[in-house]
Amino acid sequence: MTKQLLWEQYKEEAGDDAYSNSQFSYYLHKWESQQKTVMVLGSKPGERLEVDYAGDKLKYIDKESGEIKQCDVLVCVLPYSDLIYCEAQEDQSQMNFVEGIGRSLHYIGNVPKLIISDNLKSGIKTPDKYEPKLTELCEQMSLYYETHMTATRVRKPRDKASVERSVTLVYQRIFAVIENRPLSSLRELNLLISKELEYLNHRKMDRNGMSRWEEYLELEQPCMLPLKVSKLMEVKRSRVGKVNKNYHIQLTEDKHYYSVPKEYVSEEVKIIYTLREVEIYKGNKRIAVHLRDRRKYQYTTKAEHMPVHHKEMQKIRGYTSEDLIRQAKEIGEHTQRVVKDILQSRQYIEQSFMSVVGVIRLQHKYSKERVEKACSLISPEMKANYMLVKTMLENHMDKRQPEGEAEDYKTITHTNIRYITNFKNNI
């Protein structure tokens, strides 16, 4: 239906007494305006807390990966005093949503009779005009804090006008101040938000010369319910999975891997996790606990979970050439010289680490004295490596050298050394 068609139908019915098209449009517009009257919904002190996520996001640069992390911002407000609480979160998950509301109640220090949320998937399972169904976590939160929670009507922004105004204020007073700051963690971001939030809530308002905190403490807090719990409600979730052959199991929500003791490889275990911690159970026994890490496809590994040979490999990867030279010096100056030669024999020093570690560990089987003596027989012109030193010790060549002739080098037969006779047929 268009205005033109409506006027034509009206003119046909009214005949000669009908309004002109322009007059009809004027009276139609006037009638429409009268139908759009708005009711003022007053707020009673301590009656409700309105919560919603800001449409825009804040960000920080992860100091480990260099990745830009986008953060959602939860905003909560008491409409009577306009006292605001807000925080940045990794995402709008149910865990973050519920714990964020919990932190707002602990910030306020009291509990409202009602918590009103927008129809977010984080909090509302089934939207409905009369009886919206909450998620299980939100129902648990309502019981824990002894309050009630409901949702606004779908597509009715006036139902949450206070939090909408507060989101705008957060943009102006908090986003504008910190959005271009070089931040490197969510914690750092929230510390800065907290600082600006305190300034906002203690700033005098034009309407009555009081700050939000002053109006809350004087007029609203006495009407609110007491906060009976001293601890934040910590949300726990669980998953069941199978330990991979590399003794790690993936928390699918983050796509991150956590280690368990190697004896649980291929076993089915249960993961219980919060926003901060990951626990892994076999039956009723807790076999591992880690700090939660949200880096995708990365590994969190504890040394005590690793097989012995994996521990050794990790230790070697942590060595520097200076570490190895220092260990070789403890055996003797000839061993130190040989180790330096091996380290310098490769284009990249790290490629020779295993060979050097092998030479140093020969002392455990043959003694420091024998390793040092064997190294003294290797001339600077020879290509030093682990197999050469090992062969000399296995064949007791270090014992054949008379005292005082360590510098009188003799030719050593070794599988890695080729002599002129090896090439006779090619000359």
pLDDT of residue 35: 66
Distance (Å, whole) CA 278 – CA 256:
11
pLDDT of residue 1: 57
pLDDT of residue 312: 65
The low-confidence residues of the chain, meaning pLDDT below 50, are: 39-40, 404-413, 415, 419-427
Main-chain phi, psi angles of 248, to 5 degrees = -125, 155
pLDDT of residue 149: 86
Distance (Å, whole) CA 273 – CA 292:
8
Domains in the chain: boundaries:
3-29, 48-226, 237-311, 319-426
Is pTM beyond 0.85 here?
A: no
pLDDT of residue 66: 79
For the chain, the farthest-separated pair of C-alpha atoms sits apart, in whole angstroms, at 136
Distance (Å, whole) CA 3 – CA 388:
99
Q: Helix 353-366 and helix 333-343: axis angle, to 10°? A: 150
Q: Are 51 and 116 in contact (CB under 8 A)?
A: yes
Q: Which of 108, 131, 127 is nearest to 50 (CA)?
A: 108
CA atoms within 13 A of residue 348's CA, in its CB half-sphere:
3
> Residue 159, class by beta-carbon neighbours within 10 Å (0-12 exposed, 13-18 middle, 19+ buried)?
middle
CA dist list (Å): 331 to 32, 136, 326: 97, 66, 9
Q: Which of 345, 297, 300 is nearest to 321 (CA)?
A: 345
| 244 alpha-carbon distance from chain centroid | 23
Q: Tens digit of pLDDT for each residue in 172-192?
A: 999 999 988 889 899 999 999
Q: Are strands 268-273 and 110-111 parallel, antiparallel or unpaired?
A: unpaired
pLDDT of residue 120: 66
> Residue 53, class by beta-carbon neighbours within 10 Å (0-12 exposed, 13-18 middle, 19+ buried)?
buried
pLDDT of residue 389: 94
Pick the CATH number of 48-226 from 3.30.2270.10, 3.30.420.10, 2.40.110.10, 3.40.50.1220: 3.30.420.10
pLDDT of residue 411: 45
Q: Is 57 left (phi over 0), alpha (psi -120 to 50) or beta?
A: beta
CA atoms within 13 A of residue 234's CA, in its CB half-sphere:
10
Distance (Å, whole) CA 254 – CA 90:
11
Distance (Å, whole) CA 405 – CA 397:
13
**DSSP letters of 283-340?**
TTEEEEEEE----TT-EE--GGGS-HHHHHHHHHHT--HHHHHHHHHHH-HHHHHHHH
Q: Tens digit of pLDDT for each residue in 246-296?
A: 899 999 989 999 999 999 999 999 999 998 899 999 998 999 999 999 888
For the chain, the residue count is: 427
pLDDT of residue 78: 93
Distance (Å, whole) CA 304 – CA 58:
39
